[in-house]
Amino acid sequence: MRQSTECTAPRSPLPFLVALSHAIRPNPFYVLGFRVIIPAPVNGSIRGRQAPPRPPRAWVEVNLAAVAENARTVARVAGTRLLPVVKANAYGVGAVAVSKALEALDPWGYGVATLEEGAELRAAGITRPVVVFMPGQPALFPEFERFRLTPALGDAAAIAEWTGRGTRPFHLEIDTGMGRSGVRWDEIDAVRAAANTPALEGCYTQFHSADRRDGSAELQLERFERALARLERRPTVLHVANSAAALANRRFAFDLVRPGVFLYGGSPGEGFPEPRPVVSLRARVLTVRRVAAGESVSYNASWRAARTTTVATLGIGYADGVRRAVGLSGCGAVLLGEDGRRCPIIGAVTMDLMMVDTGDRPARVGDVATLIGEGDGEGKRERISLEEFSAWSGELQRAVLTSLGPRLPRIYD
């Protein structure tokens, strides 16, 4: 059980000014009046977009200009064209909004993981190549043709099935050490005859540890090049680099790079350029209570007050993608209210709600708490980075982003 004294954030010396600012300022939702509110797609669909009828209890703000700037950074560092990875609804950020924002950068195409994700881009008017990075299933090939999607293939039978249907392109995946899909680099001869076709547009591999700079990407690259040399023809585009590899060394750049997490504000690791933050996660205070010393908060009485304090309950929970661990780590915090003060997250995060300790400072129903991003309102002094929040969650930044649930509207700046 956590005590309220662990990992306590420094408290502002100006509680009365804060109270005053709450008293004289309305707690409006006007910020949203300037933005486009798009309910997050449910089941991968964005059809039926409409503004929520009232201010949401919790939401995700997305800075599309920052996505575009991060994409420009990758393209500049790598010195080549982009195949932005917008799978999993662009890591939860919004695939259609992101792809449309990136059109201005003239990417070669887009990468998705499923047929449905590709179809969604087509429905939104994206006409560039869309590569589906998932072992291609022949049963789905008619749908691939219908939406002009490019399958990723890794065995001779699937290649023969695809090329037997017509001349549409495919990309050959070569497994150089990831051990999950594609033809193994040392078994490339098995696809040599089938891949000897003008439909072979691209060849690629995926690095397992490019962020670690441990030499494994170089070894995988060597295997990739050895396998390529055994093919009858060089396809038009070769691509091997995820965000980390694209930013690490131009020898990984080839014809295209495939950044994902960096576009969405995720840091690829130490020693890499920092992306511009893209995502802010916010929730409103829905109820406030005083909790006496010794009383508990949340399931399993997972937090107990060391002294009498104020507890604010936020309208966001693990069903929205906030891990239970954020509250159990004893280190998680939110930025609360107009001054953006840090308040510790206390007790296990519950399905729809989570609690924060505001100490002796007032909190009001309707106040905005920031879980990721810069504090809302005037007190934009503090920021909780995606990296920090992910560490409290015990998760990868990618996992935190892709877990942000469909109940959270996405608001695009």
Give the residues lining the site for ligand PLP (CB under 6 A). Answer: 85, 111, 133, 206, 242-244, 258-262, 398
Q: Which amino acid is at 352?
A: D
Compute the least distance from the CB of residue 88 to ligand PLP, in Å: 9
Angle of helix 64-78 relative to helix 95-102, nearest 10 degrees, comes to: 50
From CA 383, how far away is CA 373, in angstroms rounded?
Answer: 5
Structure tokens at 398: 């990618």
Compute the least distance from the CB of residue 244 to ligand PLP, in Å: 6
Q: Are strands 130-135 and 110-112 parallel, antiparallel or unpaired?
A: parallel
Structure tokens at 201: 């547009």
Compare residues 260 and 379 and give the one whose CB is closer to ligand PLP: 260
Catalytic residue annotation: 87, 299
From CA 261, how far away is CA 103, in angstroms rounded?
Answer: 18
Compute the least distance from the CB of residue 179 to ligand PLP, in Å: 14
Phi-psi region of 342 (alpha: psi -120 to 50; beta: other; left: phi over 0): beta
Secondary structure element (H or E) that encloses residue 100, with its range = helix 95-102
Phi-psi region of 340 (alpha: psi -120 to 50; beta: other; left: phi over 0): left
At residue 76's C-alpha, the angle toward residues 97 and 122, to 5°, is 25
Secondary structure element (H or E) that encloses residue 201, with its range = strand 200-204
Residue nearest to ligand PLP (CB): 260
From CA 256, how far away is CA 205, in angstroms rounded?
Answer: 12
Compare residues 58 and 240 and give the one whose CB is closer to ligand PLP: 240
From CA 285, how far away is CA 54, in angstroms rounded?
Answer: 15
Compute the least distance from the CB of residue 255 to ligand PLP, in Å: 14
Q: List residues bridging with 76 in a β-sheet.
A: none
Q: What is the DSSP letter of 373?
A: E
Q: What is the DSSP letter of 39?
A: P
Compute the least distance from the CB of residue 85 to ligand PLP, in Å: 4
320 close to 407: Cβ distance less than 8 angstroms: yes
Structure tokens at 160: 């023969």
Compute the least distance from the CB of residue 214 to ligand PLP, in Å: 15
Compare residues 46 and 132 and give the one whose CB is closer to ligand PLP: 132
Compute the least distance from the CB of residue 112 to ligand PLP, in Å: 10
